């Protein structure tokens, strides 16, 4: 176990664009697919979420890239040396070739791990959806992460937080030229979270999965600066051919 990954809170304050607001602490290890990504850009550090889709692959957002990434699997309290944790460096980062950091389009990345995870009760895989499957508005899904729980401070959560969020129609993320959703692309993105409920992913949750009917239908991507829902998720089903092709190409 690499103790250096059990990070002090000072590490956790450098956040990537997207936390759980209005949620609650998850039952420890109830989401064995969850991955915590410790990311370095030179001397600067940040973190993201991700999820295990094969023994040696984690899926996350493309904007969670870095010079170096170390994945922690089997974690609940990320500041503690839990016996359930598996700490595995990333061998190679594979962002989507058409990722656009300005529009957030194609915000998806596969991380190839240096070694295979050991699957057990605390570390497991999550299924991916069928290619181009649509998740109709009104479906209630869930999101989880270690990100900030309020827009009014920089404190992230030591423990995994979760919230139920509703899939919204694309019209709930209107592409008004001056609105925050002007780059919303319904073919590659999902609009998630009812404004009245006040529950959403936020800063630090980027890369984590939107789980609908026990499959990873979305990836936390971007949203409002104040964490007001709806937030925007990468639509995983659109990218199933790319995911499968990339994993086949990299398998020994």
Active site residues: 63, 107, 206
User: In 3-state terms, what secondary structure has residue 240?
Assistant: helix
> 217: which DSSP letter?
E
Cβ-Cβ contacts under 8 Å for 197 (sequence gap 6 or more) = 22, 165, 166, 229
Residue 148: name the closest of 61, 23, 6, 252 by CA. 23
Residue 183: name the closest of 112, 234, 228, 217 by CA. 234
**Token code pair at residue 71:** 């994945």
Cβ-Cβ contacts under 8 Å for 88 (sequence gap 6 or more) = 70, 71, 73, 113, 114, 115, 117
């Amino acid at each position: 176990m690499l103790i250096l990954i059990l990070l002090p809170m000072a590490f956790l304050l450098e956040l990537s664009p997207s936390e759980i607001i209005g949620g609650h602490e998850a039952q420890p290890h109830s989401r064995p697919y969850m991955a915590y990504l410790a990311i370095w850009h030179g001397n600067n550090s940040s973190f993201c979420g991700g999820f295990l889709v094969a023994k040696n692959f984690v899926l996350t957002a493309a904007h969670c890239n870095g010079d170096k990434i170390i994945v922690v699997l089997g974690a609940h309290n990320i500041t503690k040396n839990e016996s359930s944790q598996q700490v595995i460096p990333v061998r190679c980062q594979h962002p989507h070739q058409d990722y656009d950091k300005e529009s957030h389009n194609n915000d998806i990345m596969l991380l190839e791990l240096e070694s295979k995870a050991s699957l057990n009760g605390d570390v497991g895989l999550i299924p991916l959806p069928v290619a181009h499957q649509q998740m109709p508005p009104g479906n209630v899904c869930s999101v989880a992460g270690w990100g900030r729980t309020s827009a009014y401070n920089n404190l992230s959560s030591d423990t995994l937080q979760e919230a139920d969020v509703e899939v919204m129609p694309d019209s709930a993320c209107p592409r008004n030229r001056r609105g925050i959703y002007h780059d919303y692309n319904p073919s590659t993105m999902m609009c998630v979270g009812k404004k009245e409920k006040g529950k959403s992913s936020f800063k630090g949750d980027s890369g984590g999965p939107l789980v609908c009917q026990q499959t990873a239908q979305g990836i936390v991507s971007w949203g409002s600066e104040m964490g007001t829902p709806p937030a925007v998720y990468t639509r995983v089903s659109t990218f199933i051919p790319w995911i499968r092709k990339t994993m086949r190409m990299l398998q020994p």
